Amino acid sequence: MMSGRLFLKIINRRLQSLCLIFLWAVSAFTFADKLELVKGDVINGRFVSATFENVIFESDSFGSITIASNRVKKLSLSDGIQVENVGRCSLEHFSPEKVWILCGFEIYSVSHAFLSPSIRMEALEDINPPWRSSGKLSVAGEKERGNANGNEWEVEFNYSLQKEVHRNRFALEYENDISEEGANEEEYYLAYNYDWFFTDNWFLNGNTSWEKDDTDNIAEEFHYGVGAGYQFWQTPVHNLGVEFGYAYITQEFTDTSPKWGDNKEYNALTWSVDWWWMPVEKIKLFHNHQLTQSLKHTSDYQFDTETGFRLFMTTALYAQIKYEWDIKGEPAEGNTKTDETWTLGLGVKW
């Protein structure tokens, strides 16, 4: 049995190595404001201010320039906008008539004439916030070492829908594993999370998921959980959220397990982290993990991690390299405790 101290040492060593590689890769870059024109041109630099008719921008290549507002399709600010007596807000939408600003869960509109890196609260107009959605879809090929030891491909779909204090998250995954012996095994995963923010950062969470995994001898697994979380950051360039809670889990096995029989039911504690960061305009680094610890058997735990980066070829299309490292304290008969997977794929976000 792997001891808790050895388990933590292995995690720390791998995370430290990955962090050093990421920091070295991006140390020469900085993130700038971006001005995207209707005709498709993109200008990097620093936003200065705006008037009723124009946007004033300090370009990295052309110096100070003035562009008519009706020629601007999108304005992205790396540091957001400082609103007096409110704090740092993000620019959500730019149009020739108005600009939308998101401050916590409140959305305001502001006239171009008052738009600058720092504005007064009196310049904002409260509006009825719309539903905000985002998502991504990726297809990838994988090389796995561990229980499958073969090639596989996967499809992942994630979608988020949020309005004020209500956030809904959906996830769908499919994997097809082809082992070196030619066996074809499949995995399906479907999940839903609901978050209710009772402060700007703290939220309560309810979640459920269903999973089928031929590799791990699971015919069906149902997960029902509740908990709480803390959203440290949620900006256009940085995100960090932590969740912890309780779960009730049921499993039906494809073949009878020598230890658990035909099925297993147990209560567990859960802990998860979701982090990503865009150090430069076209690169996103990410890491997420989830730990599930049985309350009945200390040796019965599961720790799943994903770490990697995405390179954006356009504002929507990206290439992705991902490393997955998973540990299961009580694996199915004949399986090892650890799985390692390298993934290379393409995706699109919106």
67's tokens: 């562009």
On whether the CB atoms of residues 88 and 81 are closer than 8 A, the answer is yes
Does one domain contain both 170 and 290?
A: yes
What is d(CA 336, CA 186) in angstroms, rounded to the nearest whole number?
Answer: 18
Q: In a 10 Å sphere around its CB, with 0-12 CB exposed, 13-18 middle and 19+ buried, how is residue 149 labelled?
A: middle
Residue 55 has pLDDT above 80, yes or no: yes
pLDDT of the residue at 30: 46
Please give the share of the chain, as a percent, with pLDDT higher than 70: 85
CATH number at residue 256: 2.40.160.40
Last residue of a domain, one of 92, 126, 160: 126
In this prediction, residue 303 carries a pLDDT of 95
Q: Which tokens sit at 314?
A: 């356009």
Domain check: are 177 and 56 in the same one?
A: no
Please answer whether residues 303 and 318 qualify as being in contact, where contact means their C-beta atoms are separated by less than 8 angstroms. Answer: no
- Examine the domain organization and report whether 119 and 204 are in the same domain: no
Q: Tell me: do 156 and 283 sit in the same domain.
A: yes
Average pLDDT in the 175-195 region?
83
Q: How confident is the model at residue 72 (pLDDT cuts 50, 70, 90)?
A: confident
Residue 293: predicted pLDDT: 96
The residue from 70, 105, 126 where one domain ends is 126
Q: Is 11 inside a domain boundary?
A: no
CA–CA gap between residue 59 and residue 64 (Å, rounded):
6
How confident is residue 22, by pLDDT bands cut at 50, 70 and 90? very low
The listed range with the strongest mean pLDDT (32-41, 116-125, 166-175, 212-221) is 166-175
| pLDDT for the residue 26 | 43
**68 pLDDT higher than 50:** yes
pLDDT of 25 > 50? The answer is no
Q: Are residues 214 and 335 in the same domain?
A: yes
7 vs 45: which has the higher pLDDT: 45
In a domain, 52, yes or no: yes
Answer whether residue 342 shows pLDDT above 60.
Answer: yes
Q: Is the pLDDT of residue 339 over 60?
A: yes
pLDDT given for residue 189 in this prediction: 95
DSSP-based three-state secondary structure for 7: helix
Q: Is 11 helix (H, G, I), strand (E, B) or coil?
A: helix
Kindly state the average pLDDT of the residues 221-239.
90
Predicted pLDDT of residue 126: 64
Give yes or no: residues 58 and 158 share one domain.
no
Average pLDDT, the chain: 83
Q: Which of 31-35, 61-65, 238-242 has the highest mean pLDDT?
A: 238-242
**Are 74 and 219 part of one and the same domain?**
no
More confident residue, 26 or 37: 37
Measured distance CA(308)–CA(119) in Å, rounded:
37
Statement: residue 343 has pLDDT above 60: yes
For residues 213 and 24, the model is more confident at 213
With a cut of 90, say whether residue 284 has pLDDT above it.
yes
Does 2 reside within a domain?
no
Residue 246, pLDDT > 90, answer yes
Q: What is the pLDDT of residues 30-52, one digit of tens each?
A: 457 888 888 888 888 988 888 77
Residue 198: predicted pLDDT:
92
The answer to whether residue 63 is domain-embedded is: yes
Check residue 120 and give its pLDDT. 77
Q: Do 92 and 73 reside in the same domain of the chain?
A: yes
120 with 136, same domain: the answer is no
What single-letter amino acid sits at 323? Y
Q: Is 136 within the bounds of a domain?
A: yes
Judge whether 153 lies within some domain: yes
- Domain closes at, from 77, 100, 126: 126
Task: Say what the pTM is.
Answer: 0.66
Which one is predicted more confidently, 338 or 228? 228
Reported as a pLDDT band with limits 50, 70 and 90, residue 230 is very high
| 268: CB partners within 8 A, 6+ apart | 246, 247, 248, 249, 292, 293, 294, 295
| Residue range 102-124: mean pLDDT, rounded | 75
Asked whether the predicted pLDDT for residue 100 surpasses 90, the reply is no
pLDDT at position 16 is 56
Q: Does residue 209 share a domain with residue 111?
A: no
> Once rounded to an integer, what is the mean pLDDT over residues 52-69?
86
Q: How far is Cα 63 from Cα 53, in angstroms, rounded to an integer? A: 20
Cα gap 223→290, rounded to integer Å: 13
- Residues 113, 53, single domain; the answer is yes
317 within a domain of the structure (yes/no): yes
Q: Is 12 a member of any domain?
A: no
Do 237 and 331 fall into the same domain? yes
Q: How many domains does the chain have?
A: 2
Q: Is the per-residue pLDDT at 173 higher than 80?
A: yes
Per-residue model confidence (pLDDT) at position 17: 56
Host domain of residue 56 = 33-126
